[in-house]
A and B are shown apart, each in its own frame.
Chain A
Amino acid sequence: MANYEIQDLVEWDNRIRAKAEEFGLTWFPQEFEICDHVGMLGYMAYSGMPSHYPHWSYGKSYEKLKTLYDYGVSGLPYEMVIASNPAIAYLMRDNSLLLQILTIAHVYGHNDFFKNNFTFKSNRAELTIERFKAHALRVRRYMEDPSIGIEKVERILDGAHALNFQCRRNLAIRKLDRGEQIERAVEAAQPRTDPFSRLHARPEYHPPETNKVPLEPDEDVLLFIRDHNPFLQEWEKDLLTIVDEETKYFLPMMETKIMNEGWASYWHKKIVESLELEQGLHLEFIVRHNQVLRPSPGQINPYHLGFKIWEDIYRRHTEPTPEEIKKYGAPTKNGTEKIFEAREVERDSSFLRRYLTEELMREMDMFQYEARGDELVIDKVSDQAGWKTVKETLIKNVGAGSIPVIKVEDADFGHNRTLYLKHYHDGRDLQLEYAEKTISYVYRLWGRECVLETSLQGKRSLLCFNDRGFSVRALK
């Protein structure tokens, strides 16, 4: 049971903040809320949001979490943080004092990350809570509206949830509007200036196709449907907007999971170690810290991986070995500068690409596995020959990399208002059953035939969904 008073936490928090400030972390104002396990399960089901629109999938997720928790299959996290300004974190009431200290330190690490990492910049952290509240209000209003009702709202939400991650991945890159795209197309169609124009025949001018919709493949599938299906009602469009906005809140978290958890773990270790805890607490800290950071064999523990890389960056820029200097050159920045820079400008994929070294991979014994029959079998390990492939696979699988890239190519395919989607195949096939069901959701939202070009076992194929149902056609 709890061996602390709230006053203790306040005092520890003061000490932790003093340390964090000393180390150079900056953060949004922080709020902590103490909750019990029921509350925590509730927050988990709703991604931590104090208010969130209702949908049955959250009920399902709650039941699942609760079952797993009740049967002791999985525990609960020590904390949960919302990337908002002020940042809100939930602490489990039943945790020991040491766990609360560790968690508070950890939370400041996250908070610093949210505030400074570039992927979160598009988030408008000061509006997060209000935005979620407004979404909940609007969705409830539609559900209560007698002319709409829960069934219809769910119909749209189910569809939107299925597609919500089919959106742009890098929110820091501004999306060009149609005018700008046309401009760009026109510019690209201009013949290049030829220094020998007098000698050469005049290059033929091909006017760019500017009537196509979309002009350039569009990754924001939901928004595209919202803007180009003229039969959607205002409330339906609004639901699509809501789901898209929520996704864009979660995307940065997904994209920086390894960095973020590693960063928070790196700092909780530094901070707690500098607090000069009494021996009992310190021993407990070592145990807990190692529990969080232990590698999970056969998988990747983002806490562990992230933590290792941050430590490695720091070390390589503070006291590089002669071999490292030979291989990577002498560091131009000191360790602290370097890690603060990386936490600002990287995301998981770039972070791993840049900072996960061959040596580190070997130390962590990373391997690549694939399915053979019923079993997952190791096919490459991080040796001389294989580490690059393993690394590439890892990078492909982190963050939004685990979601297939699908773009809208044409909204009027065959002059039939058929929606033509294309899967940008990178060696990984789509799971067909899921693709079939998901494309039925696209059809639901688009209202007319939808086709998805993909590649199945090396053959280009077209998955179609129309009023007659699902079919697969081979493409030449």
Chain B
Amino acid sequence: MTSETIFREYRISDAERSDRSAGDRLRHREKVRESIRENIADIIAEESIIGKNKDRIIKVPLRGIKEYRFIYGDNAPGVGEGDGNSQPGQVVGKAGKDGQGQGDGKAGDRPGVDYYETDVTLDELIEIMFEDLELPNLERRALREIPTDRFAKRKGYRHVGIRIRLDKRRTARQRVKRVLATRHNQTVQGYGSPKDAEGNERRFPFHQDDLRYKHLETDVREESNAAVVCIMDTSGSMDTMKKYLARSFFFLLYQFISTRYRNVEIVFVAHHTEASEVTEDEFFHKGEAGGTFISSGYQKALDIIAERYHPSLWNLYAFHCSDGDNFDSDNPAALRAAKELSEICNLFGYGEIKPLGSRYYESSMLNVFRRLDAPNFQAVLIERKEDIWPSFKAFLSKDRVKE
């Protein structure tokens, strides 16, 4: 009544064919990466990564690659088999883990089973971060490139050269070739023998033609320099939270510039009513009291640039973070200095840090800077840490090509 059963033997080719999941696995990995990218704003806003070593490994919780469906929550009881003496009140497992024997596979189990976390280094993270920026304008400018690096690349071999580049291996090989060729000649034509009259091996010295030298080509790399000028308001009104937001922003800026230029210098300018150049540590941690003259910070930045970073040799990025609480009388001067800065910098930005709620009762520089219409100037408002990434992107989009 039944037809013959078919047995198909194992074949290697089947096993190879069965790697059909390759495409889907690749796609899944792309998804993982994408998921990191989507959550980048949250991840970089975490305090722990700011200012940390590049090789540090960060655990990134992943969202977006779970397969969601409607499932039951915690108040759904389950059934299990016991060992014969189960009593009410006994603990049989941990909640949130795969405690349900029944749901079995297909229909998505309890949450928590599907939790993803992946390890990335900060370096990778930064790479992923900037991958989606798509800012072609940020390529190096030709005029500002200066030859910083000459290095030699091996390229082939030559008959002539200096002794230090003699390639002994190749030279010896050339000689062996010649030995063989000569012997062949000797046997065929009957000339002499490789041995001399006493039976010693005849000497077969190196000849000029055997010598081989490594050839090096010098490669002049057009390298580029960039300087990041971080200007921060350290007046009394800048509290820890504001400084933290500023710090996150500067950190991103520095990381980003570092990926684009080989030689990046960073300058910290702190100002209240007066400005001074400070170390990184002082910049972020030292609080000062007093009022605010934004123009002082800008003037200091201009001075430093004039002194050390000539705009024709350096790509300049300046960014200023403040809570916008400037003395009114200083506004015209600040505006003038800002204009000057945006003329010499590739990018000049102003970030107004107003933690949520404080925005309505404090004065703002955003209105003042609205009058500044330089194409490479960008003013952004940062209210909470989620704003950092979007503001940063907005800032970079203004980058201007200088001829």
Contact = CB atoms under 8 A, between A and B. Distances in A.
Interface of A: 6, 9-10, 13, 17, 21, 26-27, 29-36, 38-39, 42-43, 45-46, 54-60, 62-63, 86, 93, 150, 158, 161-166, 250, 253-254, 257, 295-302, 304-305, 364-381, 390, 393-394, 397-398, 400, 402-404, 406, 423, 427-435, 437-438, 441, 457
Contacts, number: 281
Interface in B184-221: none
Nearest to A437: B68
Using C-beta atoms within 8 Å of the partner chain, give the interface range for chain B: 35 or more
B7 A10 contact: yes
Nearest to A251: B106
Contacts of A301: 81, 101
B373 interface: no
Contacts of A428: 72-73, 75-76
Interface string B48-92: 000000000000000001111111111111111111111111111
B99 A298 contact: yes
Contacts of B8: 31-34
Given A402-B72, A404-B70, A365 B86 contact: yes
Interface string B143-183: 00000000000000000000000000000000000000000
B68 A441 contact: yes
B357 interface: no
Interface stretch (B26-34, B231-239, B276-284, B381-389): B26-34
B70 A435 contact: yes
Given A36-B15, A429-B75, A58 B2 contact: no
Contact of B104 (A58, A86, A257): A257
B24 A378 contact: no
B61 to A, nearest CB: 13
Interface in B1-38: 1-10, 14-15, 18-21, 23-31
B118 to A, nearest CB: 12
B170 to A, nearest CB: 45
Contacts of B65: 60
Nearest to B90: A378
Contacts of A162: 67-69
B111 interface: yes
A27 B24 contact: no
9 nearest A-B residue pairs (beta carbon):
A299-B101, A59-B24, A59-B28, A59-B25, A437-B68, A365-B82, A371-B95, A428-B76, A431-B73
A403 B80 contact: no
Contact of B79 (A166, A372, A393, A437): A393
- Grouping DSSP codes into helix (H, G, I), strand (E, B) and loop, the A interface class, with mixed when no group exceeds half, is mixed
A265 to B, nearest CB: 16
Given A38-B18, A54-B24, A297-B82, 20 more contacts: A31-B5, A31-B6, A38-B15, A38-B19, A46-B20, A59-B26, A295-B81, A300-B80, A300-B101, A369-B99, A371-B95, A371-B96, A377-B90, A381-B87, A397-B76, A397-B102, A402-B102, A404-B70, A429-B74, A431-B111
A300 B91 contact: no
Contacts of A402: 71-72, 100, 102-104, 107
A282 B196 CA distance: 83
A295 B111 CA distance: 25
A433 B111 contact: yes
B94 interface: yes
B21 A35 contact: no
B287 to A, nearest CB: 39
A393 B85 contact: no
Given A295-B81, A367-B79, A430 B68 contact: no
Given A299-B80, A367-B79, A397-B103, A34 B71 contact: no
A406 B70 contact: yes
B134 to A, nearest CB: 17
Nearest to B4: A29
Interface of B: 1-10, 14-15, 18-21, 23-31, 65-96, 99-104, 106-108, 110-111
Contacts of B67: 57, 60, 158, 161-162
B355 to A, nearest CB: 23
Given A34-B8, A34-B10, A93-B10, A370 B72 contact: no
B101 A438 contact: no
Nearest to A150: B27
B86 A378 contact: yes
A45 B21 contact: yes
B24 A62 contact: yes
B156 to A, nearest CB: 44
A262 B81 CA distance: 16
A17 B18 contact: no
Contact of B72 (A45, A376, A431): A431
Contact of A369 (B80, B106, B107): B80
A298 B78 CA distance: 10
A419 B19 CA distance: 41
Given A299-B101, A368-B79, A428-B73, A381 B86 contact: yes
Contacts of B84: 365
A36 B108 CA distance: 27
B68 A34 contact: no
A404 B72 contact: yes
Contacts of B92: 298, 367, 369, 376-378
Given A38-B15, A402-B102, A430-B70, A367 B82 contact: yes
Given A39-B14, A431-B73, A304 B81 contact: yes
